[in-house]
Structure 1
Amino acid sequence: MTENNQNSGSVDVFGVGNALVDILALVEDEFVLKHGLNRGGMTLMDSATQGGILHDLEQVSLQMRSGGSAANTMIGLAQSGGKGYYSGKVAKDTNGEFYRQDLLEAGIDFNVHPAESNGPTGTCVVLTTPDAERTLCTNLGVSTTLAATDIDVDRLSHCKYSYVEGYLWDAPEPRKASIETMEQSKRLGVKVAFTFSDGFLVDRFSDDFHKVVSEYCDVIFCNADEVRSFFKEESLEECARKMSEISDLALITNGDKGCMVVENKQIVDVAGFPVKAIDTVGAGDAFAGGVLFGLTNGLSATKAARWGNYLASMVVQIHGPRLEGSQAHLLNQVISG
């Protein structure tokens, strides 16, 4: 660890992601089928296509949140009692101003860069069906202009971890910003955490993700489907074993079963919390926020995972990707239970 980090320790995690305004809607399965969407996954689309979906949601009650995967994780970190810094890109428009204000109110120190281009702030229509599955319809907008030069290296030097979302691989400039964050982190002695984000990304950028894992990452976040895609292997246990050979610490979530902690070639199952899920959006982000809080505040990986499982179990019981208010008062009770 650098001297700068030892003296400061002021920020737990430096998050980098697509700054997206989430538009949340509860729909029936027929709506997803009608629009030919990848049920349970994320579909990139232009403004016109997304506008058609929003038009068909005119009679549906909608909620808005400052979102994007890494932003939701930073909020989970803050609600755990940690301190996060977030870097993303929005436009100088109504949604961009909403995003800035909402993130500020959530307690996140941020540098949400106003883009100079004329494009809109990115938006993600989150469709949740009765079985709690979420389908994402994303127009990245100006978030695709996040560049390596937007990464505040001085701020990064005061952080314990950086956290990069796999969704950034969808556009060339954010991909460069991701690599810049990781390379600067390694130079500064800041640990690197990376989330695969979605199975389709693992498939499309397989070589890149394997290189990132082997060359940069201290912590990997993924779910069962993503790690199966990563290793082209159906057995989750075999995937965990293979992950143990290339990563010092990986956390593999598996729905209500909890997660697997793969650490120093040891594999430990950490049980989930039995709850009735109504909406799975944000569960993985909340899990990562809880784990990152634990790792940066003295918890073992298994206790950090238990806290992450708890936050995820709370998020799936509400509509939307984030809990309201601080959860820190529950920490000791949860990790000692």
Structure 2
Amino acid sequence: MPTLDILALGNAIVDILSQTDEGFLRDQRLAKGTMALIDEARAEALYGLTGPATVVSGGSAANTAVGAAMLGARTGFVGKVRDDELGRLFAHDLKAVGVAFDTPAAAEGPATARSFVLVTPDGERTMNTYLGACTGLCPSDVAEDAAASASIVYVEGYLWDAPAAKEAIRRAVAAAHGAGNKVALTLSDPFCVDRYRDEFRTLLRDGSLDILFANAHELISLYQAASLEEALAGLREERALGVVTRSAEGALVVSREGTEAVPAFPVERVVDTTGAGDLFAAGFLAGLARGFDGRSCARLGGLAAAEVITHIGARPQQDLMALARREGLAG
């Protein structure tokens, strides 16, 4: 029997969150709502230019692992940090909520990754990420028995930027499928899709993926479609279960049998959308691990996403399990 419900593979990143305005984004030539990779010099420059900041552990797949753990799932995370102050902070924050994290820290080389998350008054986030130690993730960091022990191996698309990480993912996919378990991928970002469109579509078509997470923009990019409807038609042809988020419009659960729309949970005020997709995936996967149907999984995902957008930062601040119980989604 699997010992984990979810094993998440992703970039181990510490988020540095700061509130800003449209003028700052224009002055720094930053494309609003996107994630750009930067070098260490640019990271230092941005840190000097931003105002007061909140420092919290982040990383897309790590956020998902944390959210799922808070919903009662048994989760683990694979990602690379340096043995430095931020690396130790990252490891502590995972273990404090019960996420298994055993990837050896790098003793030398680039520092632990950090992402500068600039939040505008409308809650939209613009990310500039220095990957640092993340790029050192390699196949030997993925224990085959760990991947085989998880009901679902969940991978963030951002990892596809590093060739060694690609091999680590393929190792995890082979181990998971060899044990009869499932593999899920989140597309992460439209620009990530632009870089690896053909490879992601190959993963869908060669059976590497059982579940695909995407937002509407990412899905349109994946299929180079003129509309979301056209992109959904392409997704329905795949063997994988598709889960498509549409911000305030909720989510779509897509399979060859049909498409089910699930409304979003209402919130009084959106403060910061950082981590909304990550927490949606957390709730959906936690529900899937409990045997929920697609609609209930999407409702649990929507509930987790609604919590995280009401405050600064990509990790929940309320008791997600209590919220789930209130909505009849605790299982």
C-alpha displacement of 1:335: 4.9
Q: Which moved more, 1:183-192 or 1:125-134?
A: 183-192
Q: Deviations over 1:111-168 (max 9, x none)?
A: 2321143210011111100011100110000110100111011122221000000000
Q: 2:103 aligns with which of 95, 112, 120?
A: 112
Q: Report the equivalent of 1:70.
A: 61
Q: Report the equivalent of 1:89.
A: 80
C-alpha displacement of 1:332: 4.1
C-alpha displacement of 1:325: 5.0
Alignment of 1:29-44 (within 5 A): 29-44=22-37
Q: Report the equivalent of 1:225.
A: 217
Is the counterpart of residue 166 in structure 1 residue 160 in structure 2? no
C-alpha displacement of 1:249: 0.8
CA contact (8 A) 2:112 2:134 kept: yes
TM-score, structure 1 normalization: 0.94
C-alpha displacement of 1:333: 3.6
Q: Report the equivalent of 1:281.
A: 274
Q: Report the equivalent of 2:233.
A: 241
Which amino acid in structure 1 is aligned with residue 95 of structure 2?
A: L
Q: Provide runs of 4+ in structure 1 moved above 6 Å.
A: none
Q: Secondary structure of 1:113's match?
A: coil
Q: Deviations over 1:194-227 (max 9, x none)?
A: 0000000111111110011222111100000000
Q: Which moved more, 1:103-112 or 1:324-333?
A: 324-333
Q: Deviations over 1:239-269 (max 9, x none)?
A: 2221011133110000100011002431010
Is the counterpart of residue 55 in structure 1 residue 21 in structure 2? no
Q: Secondary structure of 1:246's match?
A: coil
Which amino acid in structure 2 is aligned with residue 269 of structure 1?
A: A
Q: Report the equivalent of 2:296.
A: 303
Q: 1:261 aligns with which of 238, 250, 253?
A: 253
CA contact (8 A) 2:280 2:302 kept: yes
- Partners of 2:285 and 2:148 lie apart in 1 by 17
C-alpha displacement of 1:31: 1.4
CA contact (8 A) 2:150 2:176 kept: no
Alignment of 1:121-160 (within 5 A): 121-160=112-151
Q: Report the equivalent of 1:99.
A: 90
Gaps of at least 5 residues in structure 2 are: none
Is the counterpart of residue 321 in structure 1 residue 314 in structure 2? yes
- Partners of 2:29 and 2:97 lie apart in 1 by 34
CA contact (8 A) 1:303 1:335 kept: no
CA contact (8 A) 1:19 1:122 kept: yes
Q: Report the equivalent of 2:187.
A: 196
- Partners of 2:270 and 2:317 lie apart in 1 by 17
Corresponding pairs, count:
328
Q: 1:17 aligns with which of 10, 13, 23?
A: 10
- Partners of 2:169 and 2:148 lie apart in 1 by 16
TM-score, structure 2 normalization: 0.96
CA contact (8 A) 1:245 1:265 kept: no
C-alpha displacement of 1:66: 1.5
Q: Secondary structure of 1:104's match?
A: helix
Gaps of at least 5 residues in structure 1 are: none
CA contact (8 A) 1:16 1:88 kept: yes
Q: Secondary structure of 1:18's match?
A: coil
Q: Secondary structure of 1:154's match?
A: helix
CA contact (8 A) 1:92 1:115 kept: yes
Q: Report the equivalent of 1:252.
A: 244
- Partners of 2:213 and 2:111 lie apart in 1 by 30
Is the counterpart of residue 334 in structure 1 residue 305 in structure 2? no
- Partners of 2:155 and 2:244 lie apart in 1 by 16
Give the fraction of aligned pairs with identical amino acids, expressed as a percent.
36
- Partners of 1:180 and 1:141 lie apart in 2 by 23
